Structure 1
Amino acid sequence: MTAASVLVTAVLAWAGIVNGVTDIDSARLLATLLPAGEHVADPLDRAEWVALVQLRLPRIVMAVVAGVGLALCGATMQIITGNPMASPFTTGISNAAAFGASLAILGGLTVAGSTMLGTVLCAFVGAVLCSLLVLAIAGVTRMGPTVLILAGIALSYLFAALAASVQYVADEQQLASIIHWTFGDLGRASWPQIAGASVVVCAAAVHTLSNARNYTRLVAGDEVARSLGVPVGRLRVEVGVIVTVVAATIISITGVIGFVGLVAPHIAAMLVGSDERYRLPLAALVGAALLLAADLVGRLVLSPVIIPVGIVVSLVGVPLFVWLILREGRWAR
């Protein structure tokens, strides 16, 4: 199943590279990449190659990085909270990031002469602060996952109201920029940002996959996991920190991309079951495939208009989310 998922992801990545507002002939791309390929077809010219490397390829790589990161965050959040409807944004960081980005756009903040970098930094800080508040509330009350979810919901509403307040006082140009940021767009990622996000996601993936056996034990309950030697408290803290850093990093670069972290773990569970040694890596691949497919659809369905991937994912994710609710409801009866 994992091999098939890798193949599907690779096919979607290749389709995303060669298809778009301007299609790239696969034979010409292969002729450019392979030694002596010019004997098969004409290689891409310099302008086409630059467009590929600077415009098309970054969004493909960012889709994979974001899909993997959000899917693993969603899977681990569902495990530590015991809630199958948990996601990377359970702690309210999406609205907090939107508030941070809105403030940066409203104030015209620049970092190293870049307004985009200023927006990314403020979005990251907002997301991290919100998550730390949620974790602090859960830690003080010592009431576990339930308080984590409730505090996340409360702060999500708070930061949504604050973001709306910023939009209310923004002028037309600022408002357009704020709204565009909240859509979730892979096209705004630069190579340095992608490199930073890749390092964060890879480090998180190593920690997550190396603890897959502990996660499987944790699903059976805290007491069972402790009896089997799982450091439950420490593992929950580690997951909280990792989810905060990974999700904040991704959404500060791409904007809000919902539902991937929610549905990818469930799709993986339907395919391979609940053993986290198999579900977690498959969920990562499913998340990457979902974002690649959504980005491809967004670039093709109304070409040359590009629909932001956050909108496409939500249009597909809402029906899936409703189906998951109905599915969980049947289990609960």
Structure 2
Amino acid sequence: MSLGVAVVSVLALCVGAVDVPLADTVSVLFRGLMPGLIAEPSNPHYATIITEMRAPRIVLTVLTGVSLGIAGMVMQGLLRNPLVSPFTLGVSTASSFGAAMSIVFGTALFGTAYYTSFSILGMTFSFSSFSTVMMSFVFGLCSIAIVLFLTRDSNVSRSTVILSGVIISYIFQAGIMFAKYASDDDQLREIALWMMGGLSNVTWSTIVIVLPVVLVCGIYLEKLSSDINVLSSGDDVARNLGIDVRKLRNRGLVFSTLITTVCIAFTGIIGFIGLMAPHICRMLIGNDSRYLLPASALMGAAILLISDTFSRVVMRPEELPVGIIMYIIGGIFFIWLVCGKKLGDRA
């Protein structure tokens, strides 16, 4: 699966508004390592297109797919509900509310500092980006806290968990509407584009922010995978084996929220990956969380890579927001999931 993600990534570098031949793409990627063996690209502009425009986008696409796949698998395991994901629990909508508030009220909250920028290691970072990330995380964490409060009874039904996520989504959706109402034309357009989900205008400074968070959270959540396996047998069994269930659940959900919101803050809402990736991987490799977590990460990356590549070529030279593609794919997948369950129950 890792090889498949790598192959799709290279192919994604080749296509777009301007197609770059595969040989030239390989030349740009590896000429620095083997300058004597690999010829220069046929067009000098290809290097700029790949290294400054497409490569950061592909890296963020992979990181976002990885983070959403991991978060979906962990949330489903911790809450023992296969329909749970960052999208269905309201984390995505709550994070969107935080980002919208940062866009509209950032100046009121932080003054002129909101428009300042600073450089680290030759890369420029804007305070507005940090503001968006932090507010997305805070409100995403609020949504998880509300879900935990509403479902604090260990005997709560699966439908109650999903219903709690729906309620939270509606509440924060109202907040997003208010932010739109209070925004000016430029802010409204920014919010609208952000809500549709997209991976354009990515720079290497974005990767510097996202990559460390995804790595740290991913490694930490992988360490929890054995305990999540035990938790699948029930809270009582986990407690008898010495696991602090409340602490495990709280820490897992907090880190899942962080790994989700740090990507959503830059990409906007990209739904259903956290639902689809773990389900597909369960059908392929089973329910062992030790293997399911990395598999879900790679599956999430593959799904988003393919979807983003399609969104860049289907209407070129214009670009379709990848969030629209994911809504279509996710809706079809969800219908298939429900219909498959009904057929299984009848059988």
Does TM-score exceed 0.5, indicating one fold? yes
Name the residue aligned to 1:43: 41
Name the residue aligned to 2:221: 208
Aligned partner of 1:182 among 186, 195, 214? 195
**How far, CA to CA, are the matches of 1:285 and 1:149 in structure 2?**
26
CA apart distance, 1:188:
3.0
- 1:113 has 2:116 as partner: yes
Write the deviation string for residues 100-136 of structure 1: whole angstroms up to 9, x where unpaired. Answer: 3333333463625369752662364144235235426
Is the 1:9–1:289 Cα contact (8 Å) retained in structure 2?
Answer: yes
- 1:104 has 2:136 as partner: no
Residues 1:142 and 1:103: Cα distance change in structure 2 (over 3 Å): closer
**How far, CA to CA, are the matches of 2:147 and 2:27 in structure 1?**
57
CA apart distance, 1:169:
4.2
Is the 2:88–2:166 Cα contact (8 Å) retained in structure 1?
Answer: yes
**How far, CA to CA, are the matches of 1:285 and 1:248 in structure 2?**
19
- 1:265 has 2:274 as partner: no
**How far, CA to CA, are the matches of 2:147 and 2:293 in structure 1?**
28
**How far, CA to CA, are the matches of 2:165 and 2:61 in structure 1?**
26
CA apart distance, 1:227:
2.7
**How far, CA to CA, are the matches of 1:296 and 1:277 in structure 2?**
30
Greater mean alpha carbon deviation, residues 277-286 or residues 125-134? 125-134
**How far, CA to CA, are the matches of 2:146 and 2:310 in structure 1?**
40
CA apart distance, 1:247:
1.2
Residues 1:326 and 1:139: Cα distance change in structure 2 (over 3 Å): same
**What is the SS of the residue equivalent to 2:200?**
helix
CA apart distance, 1:71:
0.4
Residues 1:231 and 1:332: Cα distance change in structure 2 (over 3 Å): farther
**What is the SS of the residue equivalent to 1:267?**
helix
CA apart distance, 1:190:
2.4
Q: Which has the higher helix share?
A: 1
| Matched pairs, number | 329
CA apart distance, 1:301:
1.1
Write the deviation string for residues 149-188 of structure 1: whole angstroms up to 9, x where unpaired. Answer: 5443322211101211222343443322211111111123
Tell me which amino acid in the other structure corresponds to 1:245: L
Aligned partner of 1:232 among 236, 245, 248? 245
Aligned partner of 2:145 among 129, 135, 156? 135
Identical aligned residues as a percent: 33
Gaps in structure 2 of 5+ consecutive residues: 108-112, 118-124
Is the 1:91–1:130 Cα contact (8 Å) retained in structure 2?
Answer: no
Name the residue aligned to 1:293: 306
- 1:19 has 2:22 as partner: no
Gaps in structure 1 of 5+ consecutive residues: none
TM-score relative to the length of structure 1: 0.88
Name the residue aligned to 1:322: 335
Aligned partner of 1:282 among 295, 299, 306? 295
CA apart distance, 1:330:
4.3
Greater mean alpha carbon deviation, residues 205-214 or residues 274-283? 205-214
